[in-house]
Chains A and B, each alone.
Chain A
Amino acid sequence: MLQIKNLHSGYGELEVLKGIDMHIGDKEIVALIGPNGAGKSTVIKSVFNIAHVSSGKINFKGKNIRGLKTHELIREGICYVCQGRIIFGNLSVRENLEIGVELIKDNKNSRNSRTLAQRTLFSDTFNSHELKSLRGKASSKKEIERRINEVYKKFPILREREKKFAFSLSGGERQMLALGRALMLKPDLLMLDEPSLGLSPKLQKEIFSTIKKLRDDFNISILIVEQNAKKAIEIADRTYLLEDGKIALEGGREILRNKKIQQVYLGGRY
């Protein structure tokens, strides 16, 4: 699905990533862990053309996506839930959910109208006639409504808060809203930057189990960047350890027993 080869990237003069290789397979959950400042967020920002990529390859579904503009990436089927300010506080909860999906509908380019039909939340329940009708404008509105209802079903609290400004939401609710907004697009790949940041232990547990379920419910690949190494390794199929801009270690769940991981990352709340 996503291939990153020999990626060098940073900000202005500062080189943060010093040649990394990563890949994410179909319907795979991959964790990226490492200390603060290692460059984890920069990996995602490089894919989204926010960090400056100086060399290397980024391919998605066989297509070179390096150099695409930030706002063009959701059309390729990649969604990014960033670290920190993840929602539009001055927009209502509902507007936050609608915002990406309408942009895709807007685009007349054939690939996008096709993806809209293909990416419906429950595409298996549509027959081909319904799929075709989705491309019409009127039914797109219905489709957006349908997707919003699916998100509300998954996160019922959002329905209650629908008309409220998003800045009135709590930390956990914001995370759900950000996830919901990404799911509205039914992406092929979801990239999450520290989704558990600032949440209570109970909510962290909930978010991790939600993320794990997303893969099966929505049929997507997930990259999860985390400082909470143990939780991330547990829900992931594979984990990369990033240290000082380089991949220091790669492996499946067995790396939980790796000496170095145990000493450095599982001791504290890394």
Chain B
Amino acid sequence: MSIFSQLTVNGLIAGSIYALVASGFSLIYGTNKFMHFAHGVSVAVAAYLLYSFFSLAGINFYFSVLLTLIFSGVFGLLMYRGIYLPLQNKKASNVILLIASIGILILVENLIQIIYGADVKVINFIEVAQGLNFFGAIITPLQIVIILSSVILFVSLYFFMKKTRLGRDMRAVADNKELASIVGINYKRVASYSFIIGSVLAGIAGILIGLEQNLRPLMGTDLIIRGFTGAVIGGITSVPASILGSYILGFAENYGIWFLPSGYKDAIAFALLLIFLLFRPRGLFGLKREVEK
């Protein structure tokens, strides 16, 4: 029973982190309709920024977090305005943009490696705390923070999309970009905001992961594969569906250890990704709306 509890808790933690990555990825995909795989490196950049501000420069922790989030938003906006938008203006297809995004991912990962070195880094904010016993499972206070803050974020994101004008405009652009322009929405403005918000979400993921795990230059690639898989499982066009899909992935990976050696954890994500891409590309919860001609 306690193994089951522990796997459940671990699945919940993994799912929360994947969902933080997937939600931003899917938000950006919705308004822009291309795969922003460099989203993964936004997470890594945030983790390394927090390490630089807090561990290297010795800035107050909460101020470091604030700075990291601001830089994350700026980093997202720069990628859009500096690389994707100029390409779009040259009528680049979404496949070109996807290749560009992989280019950014690799480039920035290598920059991180040049600047910080290939060895792992640790942000020593929280002393290794006594784990709490939760229905037979051990969970640290930080892990509780990860789970709670992601849930709070997802609820806020939901209300932002449903209740604010910008959220509605994002849904309108995601629905039909040309019609959105016709009714007066400045598409580039909405796309810029989606990059800022999506990248800040990635920044939050980076901060939480950075506190929980070691920092590695290639951590972004691992995470975007998980986030992307979660989004595909749920349904990439819908942010809530991507979030649910990510939790499913988190649980699948962890319960999988019951049946498989733990070295197969990565294989589970890839297998699920392939299965969904082949047999159910719209995901479990993706809307199958009749498409008007």
Whether a CB of chain A sits under 8 angstroms from the CB of B123 is no
Question: How many residues on the A side are at the interface (Cβ–Cβ under 8 A)?
Answer: 28
Choose from B174, B185, B290 the contact partner of A71 (Cβ within 8 Å). Answer: B185
B176 touches A88 (CB 8 A): yes
Contact yes or no, B179 A74, CB < 8 A:
no
B87 to chain A, nearest CB (A): 17
The reply to whether B183 and A84 form a contact with Cβ atoms under 8 Å apart is no
> Which residue of chain A has the shortest Cβ distance to B169 in the bound complex?
A99
Q: Which of A133-177 contact B (CB under 8 A)?
A: 167
Give the Cβ gap from A165 to chain B, nearest Cβ, in Å: 9
Cα distance A48–B179 in the bound complex, in angstroms: 11
A80 CA to B181 CA, complexed, in Å: 11
Most buried by A among B172, B184, B290, B292: B184
Q: Is B90 an interface residue (CB 8 A)?
A: no
A90 contacts the other chain (CB 8 A): yes
**Chain A residues whose C-beta falls within 8 Å of the C-beta of B289 in the assembled complex:** 89-90, 167
Residue ID in chain B nearest A107 by CB atoms: B184
Residues on the A chain within 8 Å of B186, using CB? 69, 71
B-chain residues with CB within 8 Å of residue A82 when the two chains form the complex: 178-179, 182
Choice from A80, A86, A99 contacting B168 with Cβ under 8 Å: A99
Per-residue A-contact encoding for B266-293, CB less than 8 Å = 1, 0 else: 0000000000000000000001011011
> Which A75-116 residues sit within 8 Å CB-CB of chain B?
75, 80, 82, 84-91, 95, 98-100, 102-104
B185 touches A84 (CB 8 A): no
Q: Are B183 and A181 in contact (CB under 8 A)?
A: yes
Residues of the B chain whose Cβ atoms lie less than 8 Å from the Cβ of A167? 289-290
Q: Is the CB of B182 within 8 A of A99?
A: no
A70 at the interface (CB under 8 A from B): yes
Specify which of A75, A87, A103 is in contact with B185 (CB 8 Å cutoff): A103
Q: Which A residues lie within 8 Å of B290 (CB)?
A: 167
- CB of A88 within 8 A of CB of B292, answer no
**A82 vs B184: C-alpha distance in the bound complex, in angstroms?**
14
Name, among B187, B292, B293, the residue most crowded by chain A CB atoms within 10 Å (CB to CB).
B292
Chain B interface residues toward A at CB < 8 A: 165, 168-169, 171-172, 174-176, 178-187, 287, 289-290, 292-293
A-B contacts, 26 of them at CB < 8 A, read A69-B181, A70-B178, A70-B181, A71-B182, A71-B186, A72-B184, A73-B184, A74-B184, A75-B184, A80-B182, A82-B178, A82-B179, A84-B292, A84-B293, A86-B179, A88-B175, A88-B179, A89-B175, A90-B171, A90-B175, A91-B171, A98-B168, A99-B168, A99-B169, A102-B165, A181-B183
